Amino acid sequence: MGKLINIRENKLYIEELGKGNGETLLYLHGGPGASCIDFCYYQAKV
């Protein structure tokens, strides 16, 4: 499950996956109303 962090008086939802010892991937989805479900459930957990 993800969490909200505060950045410059705005809230940003983040999720961290994996063991934390590999390379980092920053994925930004399409903006308000756009979904990243395909990525989160089918690609990020591979």
In the chain, domain spans: 3-43
Beta pairing partners, 7: 10
Residue among 42, 37, 30 nearest 2 (CA): 37
Q: What is the pLDDT of residue 2?
A: 82
**Reported pTM:** 0.51
pLDDT digits (tens, 9 = 90+) for 1-46: 788 999 999 988 888 877 778 888 777 766 666 666 666 666 666 5
